[in-house]
Amino acid sequence: MKIAIDAMGGDNAPEAIVKGVLAARDAFSDMEFILYGDQAQIKPLVSNIERIEIQHTDEVIAGDDEPVRSVRRKKQASMVLAAQAVKDHHADAFFSCGNTGAVLACGIFVIGRIKGIERPGLMPTLPTVATDDGFNLIDAGANASSKPNHLYQYAKMGIYYAQDVRKIKQPRVGLLNNGTEYDKGDDLHKEAYQLLKDDPDINFIGNVEATNILEGPADVVVSDGFTGNAVLKTIEGTAGALMKVIKHSLLNSGMLSKLGAAMSKSAFAAVKDKFDTSKYGGAVLLGVAAPVVKSHGASDDRAVYYALTQIHDMVNKQTVQHVIDYFSKEKNS
């Protein structure tokens, strides 16, 4: 399998990207990579060129570029060229740590939607408190407005991913809502609830609330993109703020607290590890014609490596093909 890499996307590009790619190349003998970006910066980082191809380009999409416009205009940008390679079947999957909106635009407009999918959804894997399994949240913000059928399709796609990549036989699906009772929410969520409930192939557990999704009531949490994005950012923001407050009060509450903090160091490391989501890989844009994975802008080489492992699984298990097959059958039935 060949993976097209936007080597210039993210805060630590190209160093972290290239380092992560080299680690994945060494771990998987069936993986090849095309790196798009500034050859002068990339080449010195690649000591062994085995299964690595560098395609030079000067153009990049910046973090603050307007997504759709920049993807349409900067046709030579590293991100756009990587997406174009997937569209032209020169590569099997796409990876970037760059501008999220531009990655979505590359996925939707360059690589293209799967026929029958109305709206692709962005799906990260988030941590769960009790186990190391994590859960998937779809849509985490690819679409600002949604229809009931979009949510239903997110569930279907999320299930294929959970089965193929996370190896869960019958993923439990929950609908993110403002209460657990069946009649909660606005019209969108009430209609989505019925669609999910009426499909015997979906292991639907009903509505779930943001207060306890980290406890893992569902393997796939379905949401409209607006709410999903707000929830994702609230989780990230709260976790970060809480760590800051704890650190501040431990360091400013006298000698005993400091001593206690030093003694609890391993416990704090475990907490940090729990909320380190990079081991789950990046966020997948499901509903487009090939695996498109976007990792955090601040990703280090480890995060890049894990995202490539995730892509390796998706390509091997043919997750996207499963979605294509299902929705082409659906359209013809």
Chain residues in the site for another protein (CB under 8 A): 68-69, 72, 108-109, 113, 119, 143, 145
Query: Could you give the CA distance from residue 304 to residue 279 in angstroms, rounded to a whole number?
Result: 10
- The least CB distance from residue 154 to another protein, in Å, is 15
Q: Of 143 and 153, which CB lies nearer to another protein in the complex structure?
A: 143
8 A C-beta contact, residue 190 and residue 183: yes
- The least CB distance from residue 152 to another protein, in Å, is 17
Q: Of 21 and 111, which CB lies nearer to another protein in the complex structure?
A: 111
- The least CB distance from residue 42 to another protein, in Å, is 29
- Measure CA of the first residue to CA of the last residue in the chain; give whole Å: 33
- The least CB distance from residue 31 to another protein, in Å, is 30
Q: Of 69 and 272, which CB lies nearer to another protein in the complex structure?
A: 69
Residue 281 CB burial class (10 angstroms; 0-12, 13-18, ≥19)? buried
Among left, alpha and beta (phi > 0; psi -120 to 50; other), residue 268 is: alpha
Looking only at the bridges linking them, the beta strands covering 125-126 and 52-56 are unpaired
- How is residue 11 annotated by DSSP? T
- The least CB distance from residue 109 to another protein, in Å, is 6
Q: Of 108 and 284, which CB lies nearer to another protein in the complex structure?
A: 108
Q: Of 120 and 185, which CB lies nearer to another protein in the complex structure?
A: 120
Sequence-distant (≥ 6) Cβ neighbours of residue 161 within 8 angstroms: 123, 136, 220, 284, 286, 314, 319
Q: Of 148 and 171, which CB lies nearer to another protein in the complex structure?
A: 148
Reduced to 3 states, what is the DSSP secondary structure of residue 285?
A: strand
265's tokens: 């160091």
Cβ density class 107-128: b for 16+ within 10 Å, e for less: bbbbbeebebbebbbbbbbbbb
Strand-pairing partners, residue 290, are: none
The count of other CB atoms within 10 Å of the CB of residue 11 is 13
- The least CB distance from residue 112 to another protein, in Å, is 8
Q: Of 66 and 236, which CB lies nearer to another protein in the complex structure?
A: 66
- The least CB distance from residue 67 to another protein, in Å, is 11
